[in-house]
Amino acid sequence: MGKATDASLYWGAMDAAFVADLSDNALVAVTGDDAADFLHGQFTNDVKALQPGHAQWNGWCSAKGRLVATFLLARRADGFLLMLPAEIAAAFSRRLSMFVLRSKVKIADASAGFERYGIAGPGAADFVRGEWGSVPAKMESTAKDGAVCIALDESRFVALVPPGTLRLAATPAARETWDREAIASGVPTIVAATQEAFVPQMANFELVGGVSFQKGCYPGQEIVARTQYRGTLKRRMAVAHVGGEARPAPGDSVYSAAFGEQAAGTVVNAASAAGGGFDILVVAQIESLDRGDLRWKSPDGTPIEILKRPPLANAS
């Protein structure tokens, strides 16, 4: 299957399942007798409750409760696979390895062992059924000839395919197509420009199942819990749209009249929109989301249209 280069292949223009190349994500394998206990003590979600053949959104925080990474974590019979942006994967692995100490844990780059694809679009579930023989339930996986298919929801799937074992005969699509649907789903991807910018709740990470408040301690857990239970959250993430041809980038500042020259928020992710402009995830002051007067890059910059945001009951 060739890589797509035609940026006009957008979700709204397609009437069949598509496959997007996700090779700009890396895979990190964590194995060993103590792997589950070790990861459980490091990450925001309940790793020990994760069974083989299942997956979860997960995160890793600094000691100050700020997200260093968000990622898809899949459990297999022999350990765990983490998928996260390649630009932060090497540093992520080095930093995580510092905490292994005497635990029986091995952390390794597993990217060479799997091609990474996203499958979505109308008929994606039927396509998966035809390729794998069954459709996994949300955050579960199915396997065939070593190729693993993980359901993110009923219409989006991640395929991890050992080179040469399975040819995915679906329409190739530009990565923008996949990214736009990820933005619509409200799942944030932390990249180098946004590391340590947000506590998980700012990025709505608990709303997509990426945080467990019942598990034990992990780095930054006290701050994350205090944010949850003491109502101290002042920023939330929203799905939004920016018009024009200039592309917002993760880490860009956004502004609101209520805050003048002081930034009121930050762009998390961006992708070309089907009708022009760009769809974005933006973390901003709740007051600014209420006002609806956000602008990108400067106080008098391009207006930002809020498309979807958490209900206020979850935002305060």
Looking at the fold, whether 25 and 169 belong to one and the same domain comes out as yes
Looking at the fold, whether 231 and 285 belong to one and the same domain comes out as yes
Read off the pLDDT band of 3 (50, 70, 90).
very low
Residue 259 lies in a domain: yes
Q: Looking at residue 12, what is its pLDDT?
A: 33
Q: Which of 45, 40, 38 is nearest to 206 (CA)?
A: 45
Residue 5 lies in a domain: no
> Where a domain ends, among 182, 207, 232?
182
Query: 264, 258 in Cβ contact below 8 A?
Result: yes
Query: Mind listing the pLDDT tens digit for each residue in 218-229?
Result: 999 999 999 999
Looking at the fold, whether 172 and 194 belong to one and the same domain comes out as no
Q: Which two tokens stand for residue 156?
A: 């989006």
Residue 6 lies in a domain: no
Whether 5 shows a pLDDT value over 80: the answer reads no
Query: Mind listing the pLDDT tens digit for each residue in 225-244?
Result: 999 998 779 999 999 999 99
Looking at the fold, whether 40 and 114 belong to one and the same domain comes out as yes
Work out the average pLDDT over 5-14. 30
Residue 168 lies in a domain: yes
Residue 310 lies in a domain: no
Whether 311 shows a pLDDT value over 70: the answer reads no
Looking at the fold, whether 162 and 187 belong to one and the same domain comes out as no
Query: Mind listing the pLDDT tens digit for each residue in 158-209?
Result: 999 999 776 776 677 878 999 999 999 999 999 999 999 999 999 999 999 9
> Where a domain ends, among 145, 166, 182?
182
Phi, psi of 141, deg, nearest 5: -135, 160
Query: 241, 208 in Cβ contact below 8 A?
Result: no
User: Residue 277 maps to which CATH number?
Assistant: 2.40.30.160
Looking at the fold, whether 127 and 224 belong to one and the same domain comes out as no
Residue 295 lies in a domain: yes
Structural domain total, the chain:
2
Q: Which two tokens stand for residue 160?
A: 């991890």
Looking at the fold, whether 204 and 147 belong to one and the same domain comes out as no
Q: Which two tokens stand for residue 16?
A: 């069949």
Query: Mind listing the pLDDT tens digit for each residue in 252-303?
Result: 999 999 999 999 999 999 999 989 999 999 999 999 999 999 999 999 999 9
CB proximity list for 311: less than 8 A, separation 6 or greater: none
Looking at the fold, whether 141 and 167 belong to one and the same domain comes out as yes
R_g of the chain, CA atoms, integer Å: 19
Looking at the fold, whether 203 and 160 belong to one and the same domain comes out as no
The length of the chain, given as a count of residues: 316
Q: Which of 126, 89, 110, 93 is nearest to 160 (CA)?
A: 110
Work out the average pLDDT over 135-143. 97
Residue 4 lies in a domain: no
Label each residue of the chain as H, E or C.
CCCCCCCCCCHHHCCCCEEEECCCEEEEEEECCCHHHHHHCCECCCHHHCCCCEEEEEEEECCCCCEEEEEEEEEECCEEEEEEEHHHHHHHHHHHHCCCCCCCCEEEECHHHCEEEEEECCCHHHHHHHHHCCCCCCCEEEEECCEEEEECCCCCEEEEECCCCCCCCCEEECHHHHHHHHHHHCCCCCCHHHCCCCCHHHHCCCCCCCCCCCCCCCCCHHHHHHHHHCCCCCEEEEEEEECCCCCCCCCCEEECHHHCCCCCEEEEEEEECCCCCEEEEEEEEHHHHHHCCCEECCCCCEEEEEEECCCHHHHC
Q: Looking at residue 8, what is its pLDDT?
A: 26
Phi, psi of 208, deg, nearest 5: -100, 15
Work out the average pLDDT over 50-55. 98
Query: Mind listing the pLDDT tens digit for each residue in 65-124?
Result: 999 999 999 999 999 999 999 999 999 999 999 999 999 999 999 999 999 999 998 889
> Where a domain ends, among 132, 167, 182?
182
Q: Looking at residue 17, what is its pLDDT?
A: 85
Looking at the fold, whether 34 and 160 belong to one and the same domain comes out as yes
CB proximity list for 211: less than 8 A, separation 6 or greater: 44, 45, 59, 200, 201, 205, 224
Looking at the fold, whether 24 and 160 belong to one and the same domain comes out as yes
- pTM for this model (two decimals): 0.91
Q: Looking at residue 168, what is its pLDDT?
A: 72
User: Residue 101 maps to which CATH number?
Assistant: 3.30.1360.120
Domain of 228 in residue numbering reads as 183-303
Q: What gap in Å lies between CA 136 and CA 90, rounded to an integer?
A: 30
Looking at the fold, whether 221 and 299 belong to one and the same domain comes out as yes
Residue 223 lies in a domain: yes
Whether 312 shows a pLDDT value over 80: the answer reads no
Computed over every residue of the chain, the mean pLDDT equals: 91
